[in-house]
Each structure stands twice: as structure tokens, then as C-alpha cells.
Structure 1
Amino acid sequence: MSGSQALKADALDFAGDTATYALSLFVIGASLRTRALASLIKGASLAAIAIAVLGMTVLRVMNGAPPEAATMGVVGFLALSANVASVLILLRWRDGDSNVRSVWLCSRNDAIGNVGVIVAGGVVALTGTAWPDLLVAALLAGLFLKSASAITLQALRELNTTGASHATPVESSS
């Protein structure tokens, strides 16, 4: 309703997080291999969200109409309140396996995104232009891609570790 790309990016990330949290809870007691495979799915979905946000932002550059700053600020503040609570709860698991780390990264990204939406809303209100909103949307897409890469790389390392532990030892020829 606000016409904000940054708020849309934040909302898409929230939707993706819902699926991420459900998948994380589903595999939490599973083997490291299963959790790492789930993390690969989460990394791919986060990358897809980033690409969608970038695409929508590029399309919005052509339109250039400024979003509604007040809606951006109010929704951003409400979302930030919820995400700060989540981040504080998840803080102790930020260095866990790829499954729990992905939940931490998603929550952290949400809080960063909320602050970005609030700031962009304020600058949109001051300038009357769409550029602050578009810049924050592009920055969020970059953050999503960076997190997707980190989740995917850690999951691949964990898969390599679990694959190596299941390998048959090679007999020595001496």
C-alpha cells in the first residue's frame, strides 16, 4: 500500500523467514547432513528473494514515484520491535550449525531491514523522492545475497564433513 520497495523487500524476507523457521524446526533433531540439506534450501530461497527484490527495484526505478513515508515508518517500527525480541532470543545460537545459524541470520537481516525501512521513510519524507527507498531495497537485496552465500557455503562444508565421515577408509598398500 505504501509503494515502498524497501518495505516490500522486508515483507518478502518475512515471508521467506516463515518457511525458514518451519523448516528449521522440522529438522532440528535430524542428522547434520539433513540439517545441512535443509540449509541449502534456505540459502537458495533467500537468494531467490534477493533476485526478486533487485528485479522489482529496477522496475520501480523506471516509475520513480515516491512511496508513502509515514506507512514505511510505522510498519518498519512495529516490525523492528518484533525482530529485536527475536534477535535477542536467538543471539546465543548465532554460531551454531548451518540450520540454526540461518535462523539467526534471517532474524538479524530482518532487524537491519527494519532500521533501513525506517531511515528510508524519513529521508523520503524529507526529500520527496523515491531514491532512498530504492537504495535501501537494493542494499537489502545485497544483504540477502550475502547471507544466502554464507548459509550455502557453511551447509556445503557440513555436507563435505558428513560425507567424509561416511567414506570407507582406504587400505594401505604397504
Structure 2
Amino acid sequence: MAKPEIEIDVDPATGQWFVDKMPMILVPQHFYNNNHFALEAALGAEGLDAALAPAGRTSAYVWCKKQSEVYGLSGLDVFAHYMKRLSQRGWGRFTIVAADPAAGTATIRLDHSSFITDESRKAGRRLCYMFAPWLKGAMEFVCEQDGMPRTLVAEEVQCAAEGHDHCVFEVRPA
């Protein structure tokens, strides 16, 4: 297995993990998914999405802002860095198919989503919707940084759990 391109710093006094100068928590994929799907069963997919979306959007926006400051990144370089880091952290492989901050649009392909397992592959419905607000927040940061602040919407338009070989997300102006 190839050595990861991501450096993890562990504070010897607290045990806290840091990546890109941001604190991290490492949990097994099954642990996260079991909790996610238990909450979805209790709240329904729409209820869980409504509960998580604002925090997901804000978290992505703040992450991009901080990474912009840490690494001096701007524009689509910040967005590409975010896609790279999501991919390196086990959420799946995110690929920018198209992105246009001036138009407020993006298309993102997701292969190997962390939500698509042997058990969930045949769910027959979209399971990876939690990522949509992350993409919205990241693109909103890029648009604002490029001097074109706008409110965007994002949605999963295709999911591997529906029988496709990958997921697709679309970001567009609200």
C-alpha cells in the first residue's frame, strides 16, 4: 500500500490528531455509517439531511477558508484541495468534472463513496446526500473569494446505491 500524502501530527500531551493544522478524529467507517444510518432510520432521510446540511455547509466553508489561509490557496485551487483531502480521508474519491465559480456551478464525481458498502450497494436509493452541502459550502467560499458571493444549492443526482458505478453531484445557483 502506498504511503499517504497526508501528514498527521499527534500532540503527545493530549493525543489530539492534526492534519493541515486542523484537529481531527479518526473513527472506523462502519462506526460512522452505523450511526449515520441509525439517525436516518429515526429521522428519515429528509429529516437527517435537514439536520446535517447547515452544519455540513458551514464546516466546508470554514475548512476552505482556513486552508486558504494556511496554504495561500485561492479560487478553484482551494476547491481542488478540498476534494483531494476528502478523498485522502476515506470519504471516497472525489473528482471535479467541471467547476465554474463565475457561474456558481460544479459537477463532482464520487467513486468508492464511504456510504456504499457491500450491504448498502443495492439500497435502490441515494445514500450519499450528506456530501452535497459540503460541496455547496466549498463552492460558496470559492465564489465569495473570487468576488462573486452567491447562495448555491447542491444535490446528489446519481448514486452508486441506485445501481450506477459512481455518484454524481451538481452545484448550481439557488
TM bucket, shorter chain: 0.3 to 0.5
Task: Identify which of structures 1 and 2 has the higher relative contact order when contacts are C-alpha pairs closer than 8 Å and 6+ apart.
Answer: 1
TM-score scaled to structure 2, two decimals? 0.33
TM-score scaled to structure 1, two decimals? 0.33
Please state which structure has a larger fraction of its residues in strand: 2
